[in-house]
Structure 1
Amino acid sequence: MTEIVRDDNHSDGSPTVGGTGIRVENVADAYEYSGYSPDEIVDHYPTLTLQDVHAALAYFYGNSEEFDQLPKARNNDEEAT
């Protein structure tokens, strides 16, 4: 079973697909904004399984409020520099 994990020492604590280091956000962007199918995402990220992709998408859509806040936080960080 695919696990979505967080590690403050990796990917700035962003949720990643366990054992891969690939951010949930990257999988969701490939699906939603780039138009890749889950099978194409597996081709693009060979360390992912189809189960991993579906778990990442389920996490993304189940926690959308968390991801809605990410661009704001990044913009605030960029403005501070």
Structure 2
Amino acid sequence: MSGMGIVRNSEHSNGAPTIEGTGIRVKDIASAYEHSGYDPDEITQLYPDLTLGDVHRALAYYYDHIDDFRSASSEPASA
């Protein structure tokens, strides 16, 4: 189960990036880390299917594509 990557599959999670083989969304991991204050070890306890490497890969992907995540999650402000 090690060495899984980040995949985008339109059949799962509406094409949102997920951890390969788990269906767990990158943004859920990033949200647990950024907003809920969990550290990577704790995230592996929240999502037992993930290894510590998976969590770090997901966070790295999130920060590498942060503008995409922020634009996708925020509604445009109405004038």
Tell me the TM-score normalized by structure 2: 0.88
Match of 2:37 among 35, 38, 53: 35
Q: Quote the sequence identity (%).
A: 53
Could you say which residue in structure 1 is the equivalent of 2:9?
A: 7
- Specify every segment of 5 or more residues in structure 1 that has no aligned partner in the other structure, as ranges: 77-81
Could you say which residue in structure 2 is the equivalent of 1:70?
A: 72
Aligned with 1:35: secondary structure? coil
Name segments (4+ residues, structure 1) moved above 4 Å. Answer: none
Offset from partner CA, 1:22-80 (integer Å, 9 cap, x none): 000000000000000000000000000000000000000001111011123xx47xxxx
Task: Please identify which structure carries the higher helix content.
Answer: 1
Is 2:50 the partner of 1:26?
Answer: no
Could you say which residue in structure 1 is the equivalent of 2:47?
A: 45
User: Distance between the aligned counterparts of 1:50 and 1:62, measured in 2?
Assistant: 18
Number of aligned residue pairs: give it.
74
- Specify every segment of 5 or more residues in structure 2 that has no aligned partner in the other structure, as ranges: none
Tell me the TM-score normalized by structure 1: 0.86
